[in-house]
Structure 1
Amino acid sequence: MSHDFRVALVTCANFPDLWDDDHPLRDALRERGVIVDAVRWDDASADWSRYDLTVLRSPWDYVARRDAFVEWARGVPRLANPGDIVAWNTDKRYLSDLAAAGIPIIPTEFVAPGEAWTAPAEGEWVVKPTISAGSQDTGRYALPAQRALAEAHVERLTAGGRTAMIQPYLAAVDTSGETAVLCTPDATGELTFSHAIRKGAMLNAPGQGAKDPGAETITTRTPAPAELELAERVLATIPGGAKRLLYARVDMIPGPDGSPMLIELELTEPSLFLRTAPGAAGRLADAILNRL
C-alpha cells in the first residue's frame, strides 16, 4: 500500500539514525508505505516543506541552544508536536501553570539568575535547571550535611544565566519508581492511553549525580486508576488543547500520602518506550497516517 507520504523523524548529531527506541516507529511507518527520513533538527540543508509531517523524536542536543531550537520549531510548517508547545514545554516553569490549574505537582521552588537561595534546614532535595534533558546538571543533596554543595549547584546554574528549580526528593522513587503514562491519538484524534512503564530511580546517592540516559531500569506497568485520572486532568490543561498533539508522556510518582503527583509533562522529545509495549509503535504509526 503506497501513499507517497513523506515523514521526517527529527533527531540530532549524536543519533543520526535515530535513537534505538524510535526504530520500531520508523519501521511501522515504512510497513504502511510511508517514506521516512531521519533528519537532524539543525541540518541547514534540510527542506522541511517537503515533508507531510515532521515528528520530533530525539533532538536531545538542543538544551544549550534552546532559543535556536524554539525558533526552528516555530518555523517548521507541519511539526508534531507544534512549535508553540515546544516553546512552552522545554522550560519546566510550565509546572507553575499546571499547579495554578490545580494539578498536584511536586512542590517546586524556582530561582532565577540574580536571585539568592537559602537551602532548607534538612531533608533530601533535588536541584536541576528548568531547561534540561536526560537529567543533565541534576543533583540530589542530603541536608544539612551537603548544604554547601546544594547551594553551590544553584549558584552555578544561576551564574550561568539559567533558572534553577529545587524539589524535595520523594522516597517513593526508590520503591515504587516513576510511572510514565504514554498517550497517543485514537481514530478520532483524541489523545488516549496507549501504554505505561515503570522507570527506576535516575539519581544516584546524594552528591553523586545522575545515571546516564538509558541506564535506568524500564519495565511495563499497569497504571492505577488514580494515575490514569491524573494523566487525563493534566492533558485537559494543555495550552490550545491536547487534540493538536501526536503524543504526550505524563510522568508521576506517589506523593507522601500515596496519591500520584506530577513530575513532568513531556510533550517535546520524550522517549516513548516503544520497544517496551508491543503494538505501541503500530498505534502511533496509525495515528500519523490518520493525521496525514
Structure 2
Amino acid sequence: MITCAYVTFADPEGQDDERDPALAAWREQGIVGRAVRWDDPGADWSAFDAVVVRSAWDYTDRRAEFLDWAWRVESVTRLLNPAGILERNTDKTYLRELGVPIVPTHWSSQDLPDWEEYVVKPAISAGARDTIRTADAGAAQAHAAALEAAGRTPMVQPYLGMVESEGETSLLYFNRRLSHTVRRNPMLASGMTPADNGRGQLRDPAPDQVELAEKVLAAIPQALLYARVDLVRLSDGRPAVMELELTEPYLYLRYEPTAAANLASALRELL
C-alpha cells in the first residue's frame, strides 16, 4: 500500500475544489491519500511514502517557515515537488534565469520604462496580492518604491492588452507529459471580479507555445510531479513566459475529464 499526504492549508472557505477529485483518482491508482495542513504541528511526515504539495496557499506570508518545513520533510520522505524547486520557484526572480522570452520586467523602482500601462507586484506573492495596474507612471514608481522599502523585490511590467483577447494560456504537465491546456481569465482585466479568478476554458495549445513550455521544463533536472507554464503573447506575436508554477498551482482538474487520472498516474510512476 502506498500512502501519500496531500498538503493543504487551513481552508475554512473550501477554496480547494481539487482535493476530492485528486484523492479519488489516487485511490484508483492504489494510493491512499490524506489531506494534511503543511503547518500541522502533529503531522508525522515520515509515515508517508510521499508528501505532495498542493494547496499550501498561505505560504507567501510565511515563506521562510514554509521552506524550512519543506527541507525537513524532504529529509524524512519523498517530497513532490522537491524542496530545492520550491525554494527557487517561490521567488519570481527565477524568471531572470530561464533563458527564454519572458514578459518584459523591470526589477526596480528607479528609471521605469515608458509604457502605456504598468503592472507592479512583489516577486514573492500569489493571487495578485499587493499588485496594481495603473497608467500613472508615478503611481507605479511609488508602489515599487513601497515594496522596496518593505524589503521586497518589485516587478514592474507592461500591461499586455493582448491578454484580454488572446488570454493567458496555461499548459499543465504531469511528470513532464502535457495533460491539458487552459485559457485563463486575466485577473487584472477590466471587469474581472474575485469570483472570476481561477476560471478558464480548455483550449488547444499552438505549436510555438508547446515548444516554449517544453524548452523551459527541459532545463530542470529534478523530478516534477506537476508544472504549470503560464504564457502570454507579446505585441509581436511571440509567446513569452509569464510564470512557471511549480509550487502550489491550481491545476484545473475539473476542466479536463482525464486530468485527475493523469495526475494520479504521474504520481504512481514517480513512486
Which TM-score applies when normalising by structure 2? 0.93
Distance 2:96 2:230 in 1: 16
Q: Structure 1 residues 15 and 276, CA, compared in 2 at 3 Å: closer, same or farther?
A: farther
Q: In the alignment, which of 52, 70, 73 is matched to residue 73 of structure 1?
A: 70
Count of residue pairs brought into register by the alignment: 268
Distance in 2 separating the partners of 1:183 and 1:133: 20
* CA drift at 1:213: 7.0
Which residue in the other structure is 1:235 paired with? 217
Distance 1:216 1:193, change over 3 A: closer
> 1:34 aligns to what?
31
1:123 aligns with 2:113: no
Equivalent position of 1:6 in the other structure = 3
Q: 2:144 aligns with which of 134, 140, 154?
A: 154
Cα root mean square deviation, aligned = 1.9
In the other structure, the counterpart of 1:82 is 82
Q: Tell me the CA shift for residue 232 of structure 1.
A: 0.9
Task: Kindly report which structure 2 residues correspond to 1:159-178, keeping only aligned pairs within 5 A, or say none.
Answer: 159-178=149-168
Q: Structure 1 residue 158: deviation in Å?
A: 1.4
1:20–1:36 distance in 2 versus 1, CA, 3 Å: same
Task: Show CA shifts across 1:137-191 (max 9, x none).
Answer: 111111xxx2332122112211211111111111110101011001112xxxxx1
How far off its partner does 1:273 sit? 0.4
Which residue of the partner structure matches residue 182 of structure 2?
A: 197
Alignment of 1:40-79 (within 5 A): 40-76=37-73, 77-79=77-79
Q: Alignment partner for residue 18 of structure 2, among 21, 42, 52? A: 21
Alpha-carbon separation, structure 1, partners of 2:268 and 2:255:
22
Q: Structure 1 CA distance, aligned partners of 2:120 and 2:213?
A: 25
Cα offset, 1:216, TM superposition = 4.8
TM-score (norm 1): 0.87
Structure 1: stretches of 5+ with no match in the other structure:
186-190
2:213 match: secondary structure = helix
Asked whether the 8 Å contact 1:126–1:167 carries over to 2, the reply is yes
SS at match of 2:152: coil
Which residue of structure 2 aligns with residue 188 of structure 1? none
Q: 1:17 to 1:286 in 2, by over 3 A?
A: farther
Partner of 2:133: 140
1:273 is aligned to 2:252: yes
Residue 282 and residue 122 in structure 1: after superposition, are their counterparts in 2 closer, same or farther (change >3 A)?
closer
What are the superposed Cα offsets for residues 199-253 of structure 1, whole Å, 9 maximum, x if unpaired? 1211044xx9x84375354100100001110111111122xx15x1101111001
Distance 1:33 1:17 in 2: 26
Q: Report the AA paired with residue 264 of structure 1.
A: E
Which of 187, 198, 202 matches 1:220?
A: 202
Q: Write the letter of the residue equivalent to 1:90.
A: T
Unaligned segments of structure 2, at least 5 residues: none
C-alpha distance in structure 2 between counterparts of 1:172 and 1:227, whole Å: 15
SS of equivalent to 1:166: strand
